[in-house]
Structure 1
């Protein structure tokens, strides 16, 4: 379950991505273009400490890009090269925003979603002491396989797709959904403007 806050972020997520995204080698689109969100989904951090959100974003007339983000209350050791930026959350205070592909909490959650079929987290707003469900704006499904533990994330190779190497499994995040085939156990998704499911990520045992 993801408990959301009715809050403002300064700068906003899209403002951070507008600066960060054009420098990625897998980005296709003009620098300085206005970005729009096509959809998003969240995973749970069992410890409740790290926010995990994957945003599908792009220029209005360009391809869709998939950007997993993690939100932390303090810097993540050794992940400076994967920092998207920092933002001030009006409820939670300073947040360090990372490309989730380099965050071990995201790697474990992604493996669970693909291999154990945990799916996306239900999202709630808390209003006057009551929880109100936020309807998802995209759907994800997993092909399913035997769960594998992800205890020791290793190298991350950020190319056209991003490879996350762990002790037991290799995870591949498709950066431009619809632009690549997938092999292994697959996480697929659909959203407004993409009515059929396309691969978002996949996992294969090492």
Structure 2
């Protein structure tokens, strides 16, 4: 389960994501000045220790949809300087170090585990400043694994999403997702 505070963030998540996306080769043809990134939804994975936020943002620029996985840590991740995107001030939790999700071993482990066990993204709850759960957040993406893929050794997150391609009845080795307004499953990650 993921606990979500009603916190002020500086810079905002969209600002952090936009800055990172502008430096990615796969987004070189995006014109974010003409079609700025707009949040669509998100999903999270559980950190069993409850220390690290593991969140994937799904956004759109015009008619194109992308996803960006991030991790939020209370202290720097040793040996991961090249994956550090930003730091942000969280009004409840304090300073957070924001990493590209695929560069964070915990994110990769939780992604692999979700796919291989046919698990699901974490349930999310709004909490007050003292950390007491208020209610469940249901307006998020439902991401789920399809089970292991024999011989696969790695997993690849898809940055650009194809919303028109149905993945219903797909074989193992996938992370699929649906959200309000997207009733067919979209491929989010693939075991390779």
Q: Residue 169 of structure 1: SS of its match in structure 2?
A: coil
1:193 Cα deviation from its structure 2 partner:
4.2
Matched, 1:46 2:30: no
**2:2 maps to which residue?**
2
Tell me, yes or no, if the aligned pair for 1:139 and 1:191 is still in contact at 8 Å.
Answer: yes
Q: Residue 87 of structure 1: SS of its match in structure 2?
A: strand
**2:39 maps to which residue?**
37
> Residues 130 and 68 of structure 1: is their aligned pair in 2 closer, same or farther, counting only changes over 3 Å?
closer
| Cα distance in structure 1, aligned partners of 2:14 and 2:173 | 31
**2:72 maps to which residue?**
71
Q: Residue 49 of structure 1: SS of its match in structure 2?
A: coil
> Which runs of 5 or more structure 2 residues have no equivalent in the other structure?
none
**1:84 maps to which residue?**
85
Tell me, yes or no, if the aligned pair for 1:16 and 1:85 is still in contact at 8 Å.
Answer: yes
Tell me, yes or no, if the aligned pair for 1:8 and 1:90 is still in contact at 8 Å.
Answer: yes
Q: Residue 106 of structure 1: SS of its match in structure 2?
A: helix
Tell me, yes or no, if the aligned pair for 1:188 and 1:199 is still in contact at 8 Å.
Answer: yes
**2:148 maps to which residue?**
145
> Within 5 A, what are the aligned runs for 1:50-65?
50-59=52-61, 61-65=62-66
| Cα distance in structure 1, aligned partners of 2:49 and 2:149 | 23
Please give the root-mean-square deviation of Cα atoms over the aligned residues, in Å. Answer: 2.5
1:99 Cα deviation from its structure 2 partner:
0.6
| Cα distance in structure 2, aligned partners of 1:175 and 1:91 | 30
Aligned length: 184
CA offsets 1:154-199 (integer angstroms, 9 cap, x no match) = xxxxxxxxxxxxxx83111111122899985111112344331121
| Cα distance in structure 1, aligned partners of 2:18 and 2:145 | 30
**1:199 maps to which residue?**
187
| Cα distance in structure 2, aligned partners of 1:79 and 1:136 | 32
**1:105 maps to which residue?**
106
| TM value normalised by structure 1 | 0.80
